[in-house]
Amino acid sequence: MPAAVRERYDLSSLRTLVHAGAPCPVEVKRQMIAWVGPILWEYLGATEGMVSTVGSPEWLARPGTVGWPFPGFVVKLLDDTGAEVPVGEAGTIYFGGSGAFEYHNDPDKTRASRAHGLSTVGDIGRFDEDGYLYLLDRRTDLILSGGVNIYPAEIEQHLITHPSVSDVAVIGVPDAEWGQSVLAVVQPADPATAGDDLADELAAYCKDGLASYKRPRRYEFRSDFPRSAAGKLLRRELRDEYGR
């Protein structure tokens, strides 16, 4: 939003803003706090239950965190064997505390989402040494390229800060040599800029902020994204479209 628009309004009566639903780019959130003040709260959760929450002062001290476990909830990070992962390493987020639930008419999905009395919706995260949780991505969105795990959210958070990018989704597509390769699907701020020149500009931008194996191998441009009724990006439709 242009500075002239932001500065037009008196926000002194604003007490709290809460956001959730998807990872917020670190730089975007930093700018939000600078604009409205340290009144921004974030929570990680799902229909199945709450996971964690964090206020602005804690977040500013640990940019990117989604906070401490929500009061009354237990949060653990487990590997594929069900064992807890060491501090700093990535694991699937399991949580519990709101009581047992079942997926409607889907006992297999219910069983697959459980371990040690806790549940998961497939998010991947890590704890720091102070017990703060960081959300990395959704397991179904993970890209495996050349045996290396790549988290699309990290790449998206970098690309969204480019002034020519209005929105972006990063997905893995089949690759004969690497198994999967990284594809960035971009909605340009100005549709007229879509094309090879912008792709080259974004590739150069990624060289400054991303390790070589995380950089998109290809860029595609579109005017909008498929979304659910709740406004969430439907990555599976993008994978179906571009993964052929």
Q: What is the pLDDT along the chain (244 residues), one digit of tens a residue?
A: 788 999 999 999 999 999 987 778 898 899 999 999 999 999 999 888 889 999 999 999 999 999 999 888 899 999 999 999 999 999 999 999 866 678 899 999 989 999 988 999 999 999 999 999 999 988 889 999 998 999 999 999 999 999 999 999 999 999 989 999 999 999 999 999 999 999 999 999 999 989 999 999 999 999 999 998 888 888 899 999 998 7
- The number of residues in the chain equals 244
Residue 150: which of 234, 238, 217 has the closest Cα? 217
Is the domain of 96 the same as that of 154? no
Cβ neighbours around 53 below 10 Å, total: 21
The last residue of a domain, from among 94, 120, 138: 138
Continuous segment of H or E residues that includes residue 44: strand 40-46
DSSP 3-state assignment of 95? Answer: strand
CATH number at residue 205: 3.30.300.30
Is the domain of 25 the same as that of 133? yes
Is the domain of 129 the same as that of 180? no
Q: Which residues pair with 115 in a beta bridge?
A: 118
Is the domain of 127 the same as that of 167? no
Is the domain of 186 the same as that of 73? no
CATH number at residue 50: 2.30.38.10
Is the domain of 163 the same as that of 132? no
Residue 22: which of 150, 172, 157, 140 has the closest Cα? 157
Task: Give residue 140's pLDDT.
Answer: 86
Task: Give residue 38's pLDDT.
Answer: 97
Is the domain of 21 the same as that of 76? yes
The last residue of a domain, from among 93, 121, 138: 138
Residue 233: exposed, middle, or buried by beta-carbon count in 10 A (0-12, 13-18, 19+)? Answer: middle
Q: Which domain holds residue 51?
A: 3-138
Is the domain of 8 the same as that of 115? yes
Is the domain of 107 the same as that of 154? no
The last residue of a domain, from among 138, 168, 188: 138
Model confidence, pTM: 0.83
Is the domain of 131 the same as that of 116? yes
Give the chain's domain count: 2
Is the domain of 151 the same as that of 123? no
| Nearest-angstrom CA–CA distance, 153 and 90 | 14
Is the domain of 22 the same as that of 88? yes
